[in-house]
Amino acid sequence: MIKLCKLCKLCGKEFKTHKKNKIYCSIECRNKYHKIKYSSKNKISIKTQIKKLERKILYIGANKMRREALLLELDYLNWLLK
Ligand SMILES: [Zn+2]
């Protein structure tokens, strides 16, 4: 496989990858980028999503797996708001 040399879209660091569509050197950079992307103007929509999720979790009942998945999503959204 050919390794591609790319520059991270966020930190500008050079990294090697096999994937053509990869634009960040690490998961950290990808997450940071999303955090910036969702920072100001999307905060309101994130808050709406959080409220929806919280309601879903309330009514989900005994389905533990589904509940955990929703809680993870909720954690992520809360993290984006930080
Ligand atoms: Zn990076």
Report the C-alpha gap between 27 and 7 in whole angstroms. 14
Q: Look at residue 13 in the predicted model and tell me its pLDDT.
A: 94
Q: Give me ligand 1 centre to Cα 22, in Å.
A: 11
Using one digit for the tens of pLDDT, what is the confidence trace for 33-73?
887 776 666 777 888 889 999 999 998 877 888 899 999 99
Ligand 1 centroid distance, CA of 59 (Å): 40
How far is the centre of ligand 1, averaged over its atoms, from the C-alpha of 49 (Å)?
28
Average pLDDT over every residue of 9-36: 90
Q: What is the pLDDT of residue 2?
A: 78
- For residue 18, report the phi and psi dihedrals to the nearest 5 degrees: -90, -20
Query: Is 80's pLDDT higher than 90?
Result: no
What spacing in Å lies between the alpha carbon of 81 and ligand 1's midpoint?
A: 21
- Using left for φ > 0, alpha for ψ between -120 and 50, and beta otherwise, residue 63 falls in beta
- Alpha-carbon distance of 7 to 1, in angstroms, equals 19
pTM given for the model = 0.48
Domain boundaries, the chain: 1-37, 39-82
| Residues in Cβ contact with 18 at an 8 Å cutoff, skipping those fewer than 6 apart | 1, 2, 3, 4
